[in-house]
Amino acid sequence: MNPMTPILAAAQTDTATLNSLDWLAIALYFSVLLGVAWWVVKRGKDTAADYFLAGRNLGWWVIGASIFASNIGSEHIVGLAGSGAKDGVAMAHYELHAWCLLVLAWVFVPFYARSLVFTMPEFLERRFSTSSRYVLSIVSLVTFVVSKIAVGIFAGGVVFSTLLPEMQLHLGGITINSFWIGSVAVIILTGLYTTLGGMRAVAYNDAVQVLVLICGSATLTFYGLYKLGGWHELRVLCGSDMFNLWKPMTPPGVESTWAPVLERAADGQVVKQAWYFNSHYPWLGMLICAPVIGLWYWCTDQYIVQRALAAPNEKVARRGSIFASFLKLFPPYLFIIPGMICFALVKSGKVPELSANFDAQNAFPLLVKHLLPAGLRGLVVAGLLSALMGSLAGVFNACSTLFTVDLYEKLKPGASQSQIVRTGRIATTIMVLIALMWIPVVQGAHSLYDYLQSVQGYLAPPIFVVFFFGVFWKRLNAKGCLWAMVVGFALGIFRMLVDTPVTMKLGGFANGYTPGSFLWIINNINFQYFSILITLVSAVVMIAVSYASPDPDYVRIKNLTFGTTTTEDKAKTYASWDWREVAASGLILVCILGAYLYFRG
């Protein structure tokens, strides 16, 4: 049976909502949050370095907590729980990428620390060319708008519409429901402390949010298991397939991965078009595509790496990245498992209210609403809202940094520090408005987290290629980098343009393209396989163009690749290593391996 379908009929509709104790817990939390933001604003300086990188003076624990809190946002709590309710632990592959943060800590941090850059496009300019910087800046901004900002706003609306469905606002003859009220409220609350305090406010508030987030989600997980009857009962009700990380290439019983299959209703009308080359989360896609997206995200994405750039030196940046890697071990158990618990409770009928309202996408807020007592429910809602805001705050600051440092300052080199900061705030506001208009595309997707991973799968590969190949292969030059990004991004945007009309069910595309046509094939290829294709094409283009053109200037790229790093700088990096950092990294790898061995069905 498809886990997206409610399994039991509704007995009655629960009207539980937030009460005074819940609102008191939420109010206390936000009072602390705003207090921290005000303290940061009072001690900060109105300079670009302070606003965008907190004066490069953050401690390792703040950096680690900020990386984790920015990553574990709306798309993780709402999206991962929804994925767990539909597909089990399949998406845990992406969450077990804690090892990618170790790559950031041990491989990339030395290069970033030595270069003293503000942004990832700035680093790419130093390694390759100014043109590469512009291309990456623009594509990164597009990625932020259509994925991180739009998804964050959408998830905020999902939380409000689930917890407060009766909330409405009447403006003239227009009725605004709780989804849009929640979406706008999350933007306003987050924007207040982000635009005022910049990176320092984001980082310190993230440190506060991590504690609330982990405690609140852990409480819900344990409470759900207690209500269900324990871990064994969860395994029995969900079945071995939902506990299997390695999904088959094709659904059971299907011989050919290329065979189109049409499911028809009794009257002969096509109700579903399936191409089994598009099997959801196949093991091959997870094995190759997931690490590409993970390494791009954790090692080269401005949204994450900006925290490491705010460290005073590479030792602090490395320790912060390792601490974030440790925190990253928790999401499978704090977010995916609650989604599976929600599915199991619906299946068992132990909480009839869940059966009445079950929707996989709303699994986490539904558990909060129908499972937790008053007061405790408010604490978990505070944790949920903290994640929503932390994720959006991080991307707001990353957007303003990219736009001002990589574009505005280039166009207006004589701008004052206050002008740069003000421009960053205005740019972020404009991108938020664009993201609001993109929400209908997110609403039409298979699931929230599935949408996020597919968009990243289309846009991340060329960035992964130019950064990793560029650092490890000194022979690759500016022309190779530029053409790899242009060709790779063209392929990714083409796939998004093909998918969007079907996702939004526009006009004649409501039922998809004509079966067997070129666009139908493109639309039905699993997003992970298409991402692998983009990666391979980008790599081939970069290598071919580089070797067909002159060598790069090795003096200019000194200390920007392994092959051009001086012996003195290598010695400084090695001298900063500590046995405790090595031991912590080894322990994290053991924990990841243990999870892979356990979740085998």
Q: What is the torsion angle, in degrees rounded to the nearest 10, for the CA atoms of residue 426, residue 428, residue 430 and residue 433?
A: -140
d(CA 194, CA 188): 10
Classify each residue of 153-166 as buried b or exposed e, where b means 16 or more C-beta atoms within 10 Å of its C-beta.
bbbbbbbbbbbbbe
Residue at 576 is within a domain = no
Residue at 584 is within a domain = no
d(CA 241, CA 426): 48
Instruction: Answer yes or no: do 313 and 215 share one domain.
Output: yes
Instruction: Answer yes or no: do 474 and 361 share one domain.
Output: no
Surface-to-core class of residue 344, CB atoms within 10 Å of its CB (0-12 exposed, 13-18 middle, 19+ buried):
buried
Instruction: Answer yes or no: do 119 and 97 share one domain.
Output: yes
Helix, strand or coil, per DSSP, at residue 449: helix
d(CA 366, CA 283): 30
Instruction: Answer yes or no: do 348 and 467 share one domain.
Output: no
| Tokens read off for 313 | 């030196």
Instruction: Answer yes or no: do 266 and 318 share one domain.
Output: no
Q: What is the DSSP string of 19-34?
A: -HHHHHHHHHHHHHHH
Instruction: Answer yes or no: do 515 and 403 share one domain.
Output: no
Please give the tally of structural domains in the chain: 3
Task: Tell me which residue of 106, 127, 148 sits closest to 474, measured CA to CA.
Answer: 127
Residue type, 51: Y
Question: What local confidence, expressed as pLDDT, does residue 279 receive?
Answer: 47
Assess contact for 424 and 406: CB atoms under 8 A.
Answer: no
Residue at 588 is within a domain = no
Residue at 158 is within a domain = yes
Which residue matches tokens 């990832």? 120
Residue at 476 is within a domain = yes
Assess contact for 156 and 185: CB atoms under 8 A.
Answer: yes
Helix, strand or coil, per DSSP, at residue 169: strand
577 Rama class: left (phi>0) / alpha (psi -120 to 50) / beta:
beta
| Domain closes at, from 236, 264, 281 | 281
**Which H or E run contains 272?**
strand 270-275
Surface-to-core class of residue 263, CB atoms within 10 Å of its CB (0-12 exposed, 13-18 middle, 19+ buried):
exposed
Residues in the chain: 601
Assess contact for 354 and 346: CB atoms under 8 A.
Answer: yes
- Give every CB contact of residue 317 below 8 A, 6+ residues apart in sequence: 60, 63, 105, 109, 112, 113, 308, 309, 311
In this structure, what DSSP letter does residue 552 have?
A: P
Q: What is the DSSP string of 367-413?
A: HHHHHSPTTHHHHHHHHHHHHHHHHHHHHHHHHHHIIIIIIIHHH-T
d(CA 488, CA 533): 9
| Tokens read off for 26 | 């939420």
Helix, strand or coil, per DSSP, at residue 503: helix
Question: What local confidence, expressed as pLDDT, does residue 561 receive?
Answer: 92
Q: At what angle do helices 527-547 and 448-459 cross, to 10 degrees?
A: 10
Question: What local confidence, expressed as pLDDT, does residue 580 receive?
Answer: 93
Instruction: Answer yes or no: do 378 and 423 share one domain.
Output: yes
Surface-to-core class of residue 556, CB atoms within 10 Å of its CB (0-12 exposed, 13-18 middle, 19+ buried):
exposed
Question: What local confidence, expressed as pLDDT, does residue 564 receive?
Answer: 92
Instruction: Answer yes or no: do 42 and 173 share one domain.
Output: yes
Instruction: Answer yes or no: do 320 and 469 share one domain.
Output: no
φ, ψ of residue 352 in degrees (nearest 5): -55, -30
Residue 300 belongs to domain with CATH number: 1.20.1730.10
d(CA 562, CA 540): 21
d(CA 524, CA 536): 19
Classify each residue of 584-594 as buried b or exposed e, where b means 16 or more C-beta atoms within 10 Å of its C-beta.
bbeebeeebee
Instruction: Answer yes or no: do 275 and 289 share one domain.
Output: no
Instruction: Answer yes or no: do 197 and 258 share one domain.
Output: no
Helix, strand or coil, per DSSP, at residue 157: helix
Residue at 58 is within a domain = yes
CA 244 from chain centre, in angstroms, equals 22
Residue at 527 is within a domain = yes
Residue range(s) defining the domain that contains residue 262: 252-281
Which residue matches tokens 């508030």? 205
Assess contact for 436 and 153: CB atoms under 8 A.
Answer: yes
Instruction: Answer yes or no: do 276 and 344 share one domain.
Output: no
Q: How many other CB atoms are there within 10 angstroms of residue 580's CB atom?
A: 10
Strands (E), 90-173: 168-171
φ, ψ of residue 27 in degrees (nearest 5): -65, -40
Residue at 229 is within a domain = yes
The model's pLDDT over 3-49, given as tens digits with 9 standing for 90+, comes to: 333 322 222 333 446 778 888 888 887 787 777 767 766 655 554 44
Question: What local confidence, expressed as pLDDT, does residue 195 receive?
Answer: 59
pLDDT-flagged residues of the chain (< 50) = 1-16, 47-55, 253-279
